[in-house]
Amino acid sequence: MTVTISETPSRLAHFPARSVPPNPSPCAAATVRNAVKVYGKGDTEVRALDGVSVEFMAGEFTAIMGPSGSGKSTLMHSTAGLDQLTSGTVLIGETDISSLNDRRLTQLRRDRIGFIFQSFNLVPTLTAAENISLPAKLAGRKIDPEWFAQAVRAVGLEKRLKHRPSELSGGQQQRVAVARALASRPEIIFADEPTGNLDSLAAAEILSFMRSAVRDLGQTIVMVTHDPVAASYADRAVFLVDGRIVDDLDKPTTTSVLDRVRRLGS
């Protein structure tokens, strides 16, 4: 059930590129060093991350894979500044986020990071257009109309802009979320099971938008997923088990990922 995307003409062809050029010289958009995250104490202690070090390269689409409880969501949340590590370092670009207070951290998320969540991605009282421009508005900036238009066009939402989330299908809602993440031109986009609630067709659409954003615009995306098909859209798949990175796969395909998953499971 592979949907190949190469045939699909890219809607992002005219999307102006960010400062990061396509296929950049390998520099890390986010760096994690010796990340340890411990929940609970004593007998109930759980080490969600047990010394993870990983770099997410700029202009790369990375999938974080692993069974549930492997720590993949914790890794993403900590890297994205939503959660704090027990110990270890996270750099976004060159910024050490562990030293930031809540205000700075919020600014960082707003200005330098994009988010796509599994569900409930949108503020229900705002229209699609307002949701897309929310981070810019939160920053008190006017969104660049050209950027906005192209982000919208990229995900094919031109006709749905005035709709409220409740008037959109699940797939459309996720497209709005992708547009929002793109529209603020972040250094890195974190996607948390972005297709987890979608049927395979809608999922394929979303994933190809994400891949195009990386290939054509040099966007950096880190995606947490447990779906090998989703992972196959990525340039690289990182495998987590019990809070440790156990494997790192370049150019993953559905088959190779499934193979890894099976091996890790046994």
Partner 1 sequence: MFTMTINELASRKLRLLTTAFAILLGVAFISGTLIFTDTVGATFDTVLADVDAGVDAYVRTPSDINAGYGQGPRLDASIADTVAAVDGVDRVALRINGYARLVGRDSAPVGDITGGPALGMNWVTVDELNPWVISSGRPPAKDDEIVIDQQSAETAGYRPGDVVTVLTKGPQREFTIAGVARFGELDSPAGAAVVLFTDVTAAEVLASPDEASAIAVTAEDGVSQQALATAISAVLVSDVEVITGAELISENQASLAADFAGFSTVLLCLAMVAVFVGAFIINNTFSITVAQRTRDMALLRAVGASGRQVQLCVMMEAVVIGVVASAAGLAAGIGVAGGLESLMSQFGVDVPPGPSVISGTSLAVAFGVGVLITTLSAWLPARRAAKIAPIEAMRSVSVDDSAGSARRTILGVTVSAIGVGAVLTGLSLDEITVLGSGALTMFAGVVVLGPVLARPAAHLLGWPLRLRGVSGEIATRNAMLSPKRTSRTAAALMIGVALVGFITVFASSTKASIAGSLDDEFVGTHIIGDGGDDNATGLSPTLADQLRAQPGVDIVSQARLAPAVVNGSATDNFYAFDATTVDSLFRLGHVDGDLDSLGDDGIAVSATYAKDNALTVGSSVPVTFIGSASTFAVRAIYSSGALWVGDNFVDLGAFTANGLDELDYRIYVSGDSEAIATAAAADPSAMVQDRAEFLDSKNASIDQILGLFSVMLALAVFIALLGIANTLALSIGERQRELGLMRAVGMARAQTRSMVRWEAVIVAVFGSILGLAIGTFFGWAVVQALADEGIDTLSVPLTPLAAITLIAAAAGAIAAVLPARRAARLDVLAALASH
**Which chain residues interact with partner 1 by CB under 8 A?**
77, 82-83, 102-103, 106-107, 109-111, 114-115, 117, 120-126, 130, 134-135, 137-140, 166, 180
Shortest Cβ 220–partner 1 spacing (Å) = 17
Block residue for tokens 């790369």: 60
**Contact 163/152 with Cβ under 8 angstroms?**
no
Q: Which is nearer to partner 1, 39 or 96 (CB)?
A: 39
Residue 125 neighbours by CB under 8 Å, 6+ apart: 164
Q: Hey, is 87 helix, strand or coil?
A: strand
Using the minimum distance from each CB to partner 1, give the nearer residue, 124 or 145.
124
Q: How far apart are CA 14 and CA 51, in angstroms?
A: 41
For residue 118, give Cα distances in angstroms to 43, 86, 122, 191.
32, 25, 11, 8
Rounded to whole angstroms, how far apart are CA atoms 96 and 222?
18
Of 43 and 102, which CB lies nearer to partner 1 in the complex structure?
102
Nearer to partner 1, 9 or 124 (CB): 124
Pair 75, 222: CB distance under 8 Å = no
Minimum Å gap between C-beta 235 and partner 1 is: 25
> Which CB sits closer to partner 1, 8 or 107?
107
Rounded to a whole number of angstroms, the minimum distance from the CB of residue 130 to partner 1 is 8
Rounded to 5 degrees, φ, ψ at 93 are 60, -115
Residue 171 · residue 179 · CB < 8 Å: no
Give the whole-angstrom CA distance, residue 168 versus residue 125: 13
Taking the complex as a whole, the smallest distance from the CB of residue 3 to partner 1 amounts, in Å, to 29
Closest approach, Cβ 17 to partner 1, in A, equals 23
Q: In angstroms, rounded to a whole number, what is the distance separating the alpha carbons of residues 36 and 182?
A: 30
Question: Which residue, 27 or 139, is less far from partner 1 as judged by CB?
Answer: 139
Question: Which CB sits closer to partner 1, 14 or 120?
Answer: 120
Please state the closest distance from residue 184 (CB atom) to partner 1, in A. 8
DSSP annotation string for 184-200: T--SEEEEESTTTTS-H
| Least CB distance to partner 1 at residue 62 (A) | 19
